[in-house]
Chains A and B, each alone.
Chain A
Amino acid sequence: MEFAELIKTPRVDGVVLHRPFMPIVEGTLCLTGHHLILSSRQDNTEELWLLHSNIDSIEKRFVGSLGSIIVKCKDLRVIQLDIPGMEECLNIASSIETLSTLDSVSLMYPFFYRPMFEVIEDGWNSFLPQDAFKDLESMTDEWRLSEVNKDFTVCPSYPPLVAVPKDVDDDTLRKVATFRHGGRFPVLSYYHKKNGMVMMRAGQPLTGTNGRRCKEDEKLINATLRPGKRGYIIDTRTISVAQQAKARGGGFESEANYPQWRRIHKAIERSNVLQESLIKLVEACNDQSHNMDRWLSKLEASSWQTNVKEILTTACLAAQCIDREGASVLVHGTEGADSTLQVTSLAQIILDPACRTIKGFQGLVEREWLQAGHPFQQRCAQSAYSNTKPRQEAPVFLLFLDCVWQILRQFPCSFEFSESFLVLLFEHAYASQFGTFLGNSAAERAKLSLPEKTVSLWSWVNRPQELERLTNPLYEANSLVIWPSVAPQSLLLWEGVFLRWNRSSKCLDEAYEEMVHIIEYNKELQNKVNTLRRQLAQLETEDPLLHTP
Chain B
Amino acid sequence: MIHSLFLINHSGDIFLEKHWKSVVSRSVCDYFFEARENAGSPENVPPVLQTPHHYLISIYRDRLFFLSAVQTEVPPLFVIEFLHRVAEMFQDYFGECSEVVIKDNVVIVYELLEEMLDNGFPLATESNVLKEMIRPPTILRSVVNTLTGGSYIGETLPMGQLSTIPWRRSGVKYTNNEAYFDVIEEIDAILDKSGTTVFAEIQGVIEACIKLSGMPDLTLSFMNPRLLDDVSFHPCVRFKRWESERVLSFIPPDGNFTLMTYHVSTQNLVAIPVYVKQSIGFFESGSCGRLDLTVGPKQTMGKTVEGMMITIHMPTAVLSANLTATQGSHTYNPITKVLVWDVGKLNPQKLPNLRGSLSLQSGAPKPEENPSLNINLKIQQLAISGIKVNRLDMYGEKYKPFKGVKYVTKAGRFQVRT
A binds B: no
